[in-house]
Amino acid sequence: MSEPQKIYFDDLDKPVRNEAEQAFYDSGKPVDMSVEAILGAAKAATGLSDFGSPDFMERIQLWVDDINADAGLHTIGRQQAWEQMMVYAINRLNLENAVRLHPEILDVKIDRPLMIAGLPRSGTTHLVNMIAADPRLRSAQLWETMMPFPLPGEQPGPIEQSPRYTMTKEMWSMFRQVLPHMNAIHEMDPDHVHENIEFQSIDFSSYAIEWRARMPNWARYYQQHDQTPHYRYEKKALQALTWMRGPNRWVSKSPPHMENLVPLHTVFPDATVIITHRDPVAVMQSALTLLAYWDRIRRTEQDLPGLAALWTWRIEEMLRAAVRDHDKLPQNQIVDVIFHEYMADQRGLIERIYRTADLELTPAAEARITAYLEANQRGRHGAVQYDLPKFGVNVGELRERFQFYYDKFPVKKEPARGEVL
């Protein structure tokens, strides 16, 4: 394999937008950023009105309040956040309607799922897609997490013929034209398996909304409240999706599992929990670059030091919760994945995961996984060159802040730009 193309971002703090970026940036329309407007639009789109338990109203109000308080969010950024919340409200209406019409959905068994936890940018996406190549396991691709329930008049048939798949494919094709280097940081293809946080977002929880705006008040609220009820809501969504299309043994991933290991185990007590561990400094520089690159088409100001401060706190909180709760789970149901070992021997890791999950690695499954690996080699979309000090971060101080995590898990430190280890 040839050396991947190096990609440099020299304007993250003051974007110099190309024609496509500027056109998208200027395309935003003012929105009524209120709970009433969002839920009203969802009702109009579906013809439904029953959102189920009203407890979500407090949470969606917090989302709206934080977005309204984010002075740096441009018109298009506000519009995107509004549209995302409306989609979650639509999905909630459809889920509640499906369960009301077919109460047997709640009897569907989710059998010994494989649940992947790990910080964002720690290899979880690659790992879940590798395992999901095994057709005996149920997973949700990006198009399905975005629009889990059939549109009015949608006929059963191959996935590729679903209008939801087509709509998602067109949307992400446009997104890649606007931000052509996004795939080099984090690939988002409609037929790739995505994060199950979208199903907790239907309950207006999870940290997903934090990737769209500066949400410090919501983040504090989220950390102060037990997430078990929202894992139960995710389970209801999985039951509905399994009822529509099996099998009933799932593989999924969600970075916030890191800070919710106990709620995860409480709701899915027979799950195999696979936890990826990577140097949090490497995670930080990758996550911050992704956010800053995305921000060029949704914010009026970048404030890279402010972005770094917010996400340093969030990552630290996730790691402290993982260290606190890791040993509370049955250790025979946990697979700890050390990133540099994972990159050196992916097939060996798969064998270890399958043994822990008591799942036979059949020749057919192994062939599918091998085909995925050969088609998805690291760096095929280019190699982004990261510059953590550009975000106002003192790397030495950051490592001291994360020392508690290095003490617990034997991750290999990955040098930041200008750092000698």
Q: What is the pLDDT along the chain (421 residues), one digit of tens a residue?
A: 567 788 888 999 999 999 999 999 999 999 999 999 999 999 999 999 999 999 999 999 999 999 999 999 999 999 999 999 999 999 999 999 999 999 999 999 999 999 999 998 899 999 999 999 999 999 999 999 999 998 888 877 777 778 898 888 888 888 888 988 887 787 677 888 988 999 999 999 999 999 999 999 999 999 999 999 999 999 999 999 999 999 999 999 999 999 999 999 999 999 999 999 999 999 999 999 999 999 999 999 899 999 999 999 999 999 999 999 999 999 999 999 999 999 999 999 999 999 999 999 999 999 999 999 988 876 555 678 889 999 999 999 999 999 999 999 999 999 998 777 7
Q: Which residues contact 226 (CB under 8 A, 6 or more apart)?
A: 263
Asked whether residue 316 is domain-assigned, the answer is yes
| DSSP 8-state class, residue 226 | -
Contact 252, 117 (CB under 8 A): no
Asked whether residue 222 is domain-assigned, the answer is yes
Asked whether residue 252 is domain-assigned, the answer is yes
User: Which CATH number belongs to the domain containing residue 165 in this structure?
Assistant: 3.40.50.300
CA 341 to chain CA mean position, Å: 23
Asked whether residue 415 is domain-assigned, the answer is no
Tell me the DSSP string of 246-268. --S-BEEE-GGGGG-HHHHHHHS
The pLDDT, as a whole number, for residue 136 is 96
**Rounded CA separation 31/372 (Å):** 42
> The domain containing residue 96 runs over which residues?
6-408
Tell me the DSSP string of 131-200. HHTSTTSB--BHHHHHS-SPPTTPPP--GGG-HHHHHHHHHHHHHHHHSTTHHHHS---TTSB--THHHH
Asked whether residue 1 is domain-assigned, the answer is no
Q: Which of 127, 181, 123, 128 is nearest to 4 (CA)?
A: 181
Contact 272, 333 (CB under 8 A): yes
**Rounded CA separation 156/149 (Å):** 12
Tell me the DSSP string of 187-216. ---TTSB--THHHHHTTT-SSGGGGTS--H
Asked whether residue 413 is domain-assigned, the answer is no
| DSSP 8-state class, residue 333 | G
The phi and psi torsions of 314 (rounded to 5 degrees) equal: -65, -45
| β-strand partners of 7 | 384
The pLDDT, as a whole number, for residue 92 is 98
Quote the number of domains for the chain: 1
Asked whether residue 416 is domain-assigned, the answer is no
**Rounded CA separation 293/270 (Å):** 39
Per-residue exposure over 394-417, b if at least 16 CB sit within 10 Å of its own CB, e if not: ebeebbebbeebbeebebeebebe
Asked whether residue 421 is domain-assigned, the answer is no
